Structure 1
């Protein structure tokens, strides 16, 4: 928990493959993303997690589209911008098989100009599966040692913070191994772990998330602790994280479309508002952008 009973609310606004469905409107183009990010900031989000889409709405690793998104967001609000490192799954037009972008394309997102505020990467590999999030088929999601090491080096050299998605608890020990190799200090204050369930490797049940959080705190005692979930498990797990006074929770259409009462949200801002309401039950209020920036240990853009 941040000082002053604050919690950082992150909104994963669109994902790499998700489309409008059941009344949920997913922002895809830079101006749409910029506008919805501003509305989410007004609702209490301090950070927006974005994927880029091309003109046809398909995921893209084009740094220029990401640059457009960042400019559109910053023109409308001060919300912190975090980019994906996964880009998004794709379907081979010949075979119909799902596959992920290669490491070279993914590493290209480390060189966007203007630079994003924050970065993220999955700390392990998994059999990715999220039907409610728009990923109907089981797909191997590989995060190679080379990709992870290069990302860690580049992000920390920039003076930024890197979110490690804890795909499963064993990935925490992968990170510990890299720390012991001297790649980073496991006691660094902006070490950032996002625990979650529902993508495939971690079943979305409280006992699994609690164990993951406990193990993360044991290995990385000063880490920022975040929680998320997918599909209809999103808000039960977000509520768990809030009840445990974690530092951060993540909601948004990348991960699911259902509000706590089971209704479908029309906009991402509805999910941010719901997270803020639940936080209030536990005596928590949404952290401001500046409070989040201080916890992540990052400077203003251009500084």
Structure 2
């Protein structure tokens, strides 16, 4: 049964966007925390965190993540925080999993787990079966819930493999990301095929790459449990690419649509309940 309130998962920064692409992309810890705070006030209940170094380049440095996570928690203690373990730039388990070792108020509630390798326009995200299983096992050991990233139907099947191995426990949280040039497209057929194959006890949100963001978000609001939105996936307010977006504008638009549909944004506390996450005080003590 669908929840009455929808999850807004904000991906504010990502690995790739720069100030040259869009001056509103938050890169420094201060910029990210400020941007996130504004978006939480408008209804974001999950924050998908990437860290950047002093030059604005993507970084796997756990201390950079710790600074961002602690400051977000200071502003909103109940917010659900996801840390990336992306395989797009780093292929060593130690680098990708370093953020999972954070403790106390720097520990993320969730971590991304992409369930297969895929190509983007200029690079690849490499996720071998062994790497996926190692990351899943470490998340399980640390009490960090996987944010299951799905770009294709085969990745749904691999989630079922992990379930059989005892590496995932329900409720399962899936981000379905569509519209990438080399994976499932932003079509009703592709959405329906993927959603139909999800395991029972799944919570799923829809995301779109580039111009696919708003159509897929709209479908997620109407038919799913929510959306992933933000400048990581899309830099523009309009499909014609004439109006650069900010994270705040993207979240405000989604929140307004959600309210029109009678499904207002879930609070961080409600999102924790939907995903089976403990309270912050319990989570950071593990």
TM-score by length of 2: 0.90
Q: CA separation in 1, counterparts of 2:117 and 2:92? A: 14
2:176 to 187, 195, 209: 195
Q: CA 1:201–1:210 in structure 2 vs 1: closer, same or farther (change >3 Å)?
A: same
Contact 1:38 1:73 in 2 (8 A): yes
Q: CA separation in 1, counterparts of 2:193 and 2:245? A: 33
Cα displacement (A) at 1:204: 2.2
Contact 1:52 1:65 in 2 (8 A): yes
Question: What is aligned with 1:259?
Answer: 237
Matched, 1:11 2:10: yes
Cα displacement (A) at 1:88: 5.0
Contact 2:140 2:167 in 1 (8 A): no
Matched, 1:105 2:84: no
Contact 1:230 1:255 in 2 (8 A): yes
1:300 to 275, 279, 284: 279
Partner of 2:176, secondary structure, is strand
TM-score by length of 1: 0.85
Question: What is aligned with 2:109?
Answer: 117
1:25-66 deviation per Cα after TM superposition (whole angstroms, max 9, x unaligned): 111111111111100001110011111000000010000000
Question: What is aligned with 2:258?
Answer: 279
Question: What is aligned with 1:149?
Answer: 133
1:243-290 deviation per Cα after TM superposition (whole angstroms, max 9, x unaligned): 21x112010000002225755344201101111112123221000010
Contact 1:46 1:292 in 2 (8 A): yes
Q: CA separation in 2, counterparts of 1:237 and 1:21? A: 26
Which residues of structure 2 form unaligned runs of 5+?
A: none
Cα displacement (A) at 1:293: 0.9
Q: CA separation in 1, counterparts of 2:22 and 2:126? A: 32
Q: Give aligned pairs, total.
A: 277
> How big is the alpha-carbon RMSD for the aligned residues of Structure 1 and Structure 2?
1.9
Matched, 1:25 2:24: yes
Matched, 1:81 2:60: no
Question: What is aligned with 1:226?
Answer: 205
Matched, 1:249 2:227: yes
Partner of 2:8, secondary structure, is strand
1:169 to 144, 147, 153: 153
Question: What is aligned with 1:62?
Answer: 61
Q: CA 1:295–1:269 in structure 2 vs 1: closer, same or farther (change >3 Å)?
A: same
Q: CA 1:261–1:183 in structure 2 vs 1: closer, same or farther (change >3 Å)?
A: closer
Contact 1:24 1:257 in 2 (8 A): no
Q: CA separation in 2, counterparts of 1:142 and 1:116? A: 23
1:49-106 deviation per Cα after TM superposition (whole angstroms, max 9, x unaligned): 11100000001000000001111212222322111111754xxxxxxxxxx4433210
Q: CA 1:166–1:22 in structure 2 vs 1: closer, same or farther (change >3 Å)?
A: closer
Which stretch of structure 1 is more off in the superposition, 21-30 or 105-114? 21-30
Contact 1:159 1:298 in 2 (8 A): no
Q: CA separation in 2, counterparts of 1:32 and 1:283? A: 32
Q: CA separation in 2, counterparts of 1:41 and 1:215? A: 32
Q: CA separation in 1, counterparts of 2:43 and 2:244? A: 16
Partner of 1:224, secondary structure, is strand
2:120 to 97, 121, 128: 128
Q: CA separation in 1, counterparts of 2:131 and 2:87? A: 13
